[in-house]
């Protein structure tokens, strides 16, 4: 009993933080069912309204939201698959292979994490223009496949992998790729799941780079399409709220399914240096 009482301030603080965190999401749900004019009324509406279908139809008409959702889903899945594969293989190589310059290479990877993405936008744009990749999906996927955070996360995860298992597999005649795919990857599934979630979310929410690359409305991703609803004299807040809500639901579902692997993967990659 004394232990529960002693922890009451912690529980109370967590409860307050939880309420503060969920209030914006509840407001987004409410706002997506009202007209834009209702969102500036006094007092503010606190209960859902009856404009959900009208807002959904307007969102589809103005942005082609169904196609936009498919675009974002395809780009995010493709980027997640290839970027995760690169991160896993590079992280494994930096953790388990001994070669000259390994420490320097790891240092360079970490240094790239300190460079703001905005600094790279102009040279990357010039590079994509020179090879004719403007308004193409490959320009959104290929330049960022080697993710420094993903490589470092997997490197930390593979440091814990016992070298004795690798030696046993090699003695039994297994090649490097067979050892990697049949022994190493199954053991590192929690960290790989965390990497997949992080990579998918980062690509799903990307805005600046797709905004620079994509010119055709039928190729827009969700953040770029929602940005078109912000005009010089009028902002469709109800449509924005509904689009943001629909864009958030897949991420919430993904995290709800893999939250255990996500947490254990991040902690597992952080305990060793």
Is residue 223 assigned to a domain? yes
Is residue 64 assigned to a domain? yes
Q: What is the mean pLDDT of residues 157-176?
A: 82
Extract the tokens encoding 2: 């004394």
For position 128, what pLDDT does the model report? 94
For position 268, what pLDDT does the model report? 53
For position 263, what pLDDT does the model report? 65
For position 68, what pLDDT does the model report? 94
Q: How confident is the model at residue 18 (pLDDT cuts 50, 70, 90)?
A: confident
Summary mean pLDDT of the chain = 86
Is residue 27 assigned to a domain? no
Is residue 34 assigned to a domain? no
Q: How confident is the model at residue 124 (pLDDT cuts 50, 70, 90)?
A: very high
Is residue 25 assigned to a domain? no
Q: What is the domain-level CATH number for residue 258?
A: 1.10.3720.10
pLDDT tens column, 65-85: 999 999 999 999 999 999 999
Q: What is the mean pLDDT of residues 143-163?
A: 87
Is residue 134 assigned to a domain? yes
pLDDT tens column, 43-55: 888 888 888 999 9
Is residue 233 assigned to a domain? yes
Give the structural domain span for 120.
Answer: 53-268
Q: How confident is the model at residue 4 (pLDDT cuts 50, 70, 90)?
A: low
Give the whole-angstrom CA distance, residue 226 versus residue 28: 15
- Provide long-range contacts, Cβ within 8 A and 24+ apart, for 138-144: 139/213, 140/75, 140/79, 140/203, 140/206, 140/209, 140/210, 140/213, 140/214, 140/221, 141/75, 141/78, 141/79, 141/82, 144/79, 144/83, 144/209
Domain count, the chain: 1
Q: What is the mean pLDDT of residues 177-181?
A: 83
Is residue 59 assigned to a domain? yes
Which three-class secondary structure state does DSSP give residue 216?
coil
């Amino acid at each position: 009993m004394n232990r529960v009482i002693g922890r009451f301030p912690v529980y109370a603080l967590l409860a307050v933080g939880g309420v503060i965190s969920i209030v914006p999401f509840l407001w987004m749900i409410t706002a997506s069912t009202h007209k834009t004019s209702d969102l500036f009324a006094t007092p503010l509406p606190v209960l859902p309204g009856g404009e959900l279908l009208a807002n959904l139809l307007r969102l589809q008409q103005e942005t082609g939201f169904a196609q936009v959702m498919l675009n974002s889903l395809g780009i995010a899945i493709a980027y997640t698959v290839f970027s995760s594969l690169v991160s896993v293989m590079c992280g494994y190589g930096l953790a388990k292979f001994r070669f000259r310059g390994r420490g320097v290479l790891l240092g360079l990877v970490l240094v790239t994490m300190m460079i703001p993405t905005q600094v790279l936008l102009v040279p990357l744009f010039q590079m994509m223009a020179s090879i004719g990749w403007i308004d193409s999906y490959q320009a959104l996927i290929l330049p960022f496949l080697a993710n420094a955070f993903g490589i470092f996360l997997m490197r930390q995860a593979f440091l814990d992998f016992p070298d004795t298992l690798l030696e046993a597999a090699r003695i039994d005649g297994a090649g490097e790729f067979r050892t990697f795919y049949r022994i190493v990857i199954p053991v590192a599934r929690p960290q790989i799941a965390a990497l997949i979630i992080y990579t998918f979310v980062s690509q799903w929410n990307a805005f600046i780079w797709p905004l620079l690359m994509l010119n055709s409305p039928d190729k827009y991703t969700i953040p770029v399409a929602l940005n078109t609803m912000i005009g010089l004299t009028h902002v469709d807040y109800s449509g924005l709220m509904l689009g943001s809500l629909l864009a958030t639901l897949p991420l919430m579902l993904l995290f709800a399914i893999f939250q255990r692997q996500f947490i254990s993967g991040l902690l597992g990659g952080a305990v060793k240096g």
